[in-house]
Structure 1
Amino acid sequence: MPVIGLTFRSISATRSEKAPSGEIRINSTPKVNDIKEVSVATLKKKALAFQFEFVTRYDPDLAELKIEGELLYLADKNEPILKQWKKKKTIPENVSVEILNHLFRRCLLKMAVLADDLQLPPPIQIPRVTTKKQTPAGVG
């Protein structure tokens, strides 16, 4: 079933004043903190609201970018997902894959802009255009 909405509740970005030395490691981690059932009036259905945080760290201790928010997911059946969450604090794999992919796509794009504002490398690979190497005449 689909993700039907995403709301960012808070966005923070901090960078230390020290100059980076050596290799910078970038690690992005999404985390679901809670799941609850909510009514979606426009659809006349109940959806699942996933409370999440998405953190990108630049190590060693260079910067941290953090987004907190809520993702709305329309499941075929909410009860099994809620039961598993309450019992084990886990999400069924098929639901987890869809939610995590959506969070990575939306949050990393937002964090790429924040990283640029803080003069940090982007947390995702940006394609680069290069010139074609010319082969000398008579070679090849």
Structure 2
Amino acid sequence: MSINNVCIIRLKSFIFNNRTMMNGQIFGVLSVLVVLLVTFSYSYSYIGRYVTLFTLLIVAFLSSPRTIVMDENGMRYNLGWKENWSNIQSYEIEGLNILFATKNSKKRRISDIDKDALPEILDFLKNIARKHSIVEV
């Protein structure tokens, strides 16, 4: 989706894709409630409770949607990295993936882009590439 020179890319989560995301979230919430009920009602050991809670955190992390936001300044990925356009040297399109090469030899990959959203994302990238002298390979 692109609004006022901002492009938001929603990618698949590690466990569920975009079409089953709502079902995955409902399943995740119900699973958490059942596991917490079983864990605390049967008084598992101190370590057992923490292992259960840690497992739930891992599942929640893996089922969360991944989002990349692109604007006039650069790109930000909700799992940790960000790059300014001034640091991007080139980009390459490989099917439904976009690979960015940075000036400090890092590679940034955006994978599993929805094929319906890809043309809009590429239009946004071409406009940014013209402004910041980024080469399409």
Pair in the same fold by TM > 0.5:
no
Higher Rg: 1
Higher share in strand: 1
* TM-score w.r.t. length of structure 1: 0.27
* TM-score w.r.t. length of structure 2: 0.27
Higher share in helix: 2
